[in-house]
Amino acid sequence: MAIMSAPTTFQPILERIAEDIERTPGRGRPADYIPALAACDPRRFGMAVAEPDGTVYGVGDWREPFSTQSITKVFTLALDLAREGDALWEHVGREPSGNPFNSLVQLEYENGIPRNPFINAGALVVTDRLHTRTGDAAGELLAFLRAESGNPDLTYDEEVAASEAAHGDRNAALGHFMASYSNIDNPVPVLLEQYFRQCSVAASCADLALATGFLARHGIRADGTRLLTRSQAKQVNAVMLTCGTYDAAGDFAYRVGLPGKSGVGGGIIAVVPGRCTLCVWSPGLDERGNSVAGVAALDRFTTLTGLSVF
């Protein structure tokens, strides 16, 4: 197999990947515990690659908006880290959890400090701290995504937000438990409303590949201003690599070899620092909540291009 270490265009590679994925028999099942997501067709597939200068390539359903879900945790982490720096890490850890993303198990014996910012407990802490600093964490996130993607029409999916709120007892339990350890500043109902709106943002592969570009540019936003220091961008990428795909991060690193963050809407973003950012979407999930076709497509991408962090 020929490895193209410096492709002049990603389009032929994406088309080859799409053909391979089309022949893949098993695609997993959509998330059924969020009713608004359960009806998604697991055969849908889209993939986009954005270069640091904003050039974007795509294939399949790459311009179809989907529910971003936990992918947004990357952006709220970056927005809060830019504001408070290392003080954030006093309230949330940086270690893989080894447990499901909505687990309560570790919180009690770790005194209400979530293991990392990408499990639900950790994301609630980050959203809480961003909300304290901005007065509207979800609004701050949406404004950032619109600016970085160049798409002013990005917005929340109110049906998804309502569906999550109606089935949000576990997240409420996480919030109240951490509040009992004084690790939550805002009233839990306010925090949950912000969190559910954050997770309900609908965006396409093109939107998210472009919006993630600041991590490939070592912290520089699309307009040339700096959001994160180079060290902070490294930190976000590192936590994505070790914690970004729930309790399957080791397998993802083994197969794909890139910092990545998945969501139960079927999307995955990934970063090749200094080279490009990717987003892939296919709603069928494996038992750990990651897109089956999405992981396979990213695996093929790094194999065909030779682009990885290893």
Catalytic positions, written as ranges: 70, 73, 195, 246, 264
User: Percentage helix, strand, coil, to 5, in the chain?
Assistant: 50, 10, 40
Residue type, 264: V
Look at residue 266 and give its three-state secondary structure: coil
State how far the Cα of 276 lies from the Cα of 290, in Å rounded to an integer: 21
- Strand ranges of the sheet holding 66-67, from the earlier edge strand across to the other edge: 66-67, 201-203, 155-156
Binding residues for substrate: 70, 120, 164, 171, 195, 246, 264
In contact, 227 and 214? CB cutoff 8 Å: yes
Question: Closest Cα to residue 212, out of 271, 257, 165?
Answer: 271
State how far the Cα of 238 lies from the Cα of 118, in Å rounded to an integer: 12
The CA–CA distances, whole Å, from 157 to 106, 124, 149, 210, 265 equal: 31, 19, 17, 20, 12
In contact, 241 and 259? CB cutoff 8 Å: yes
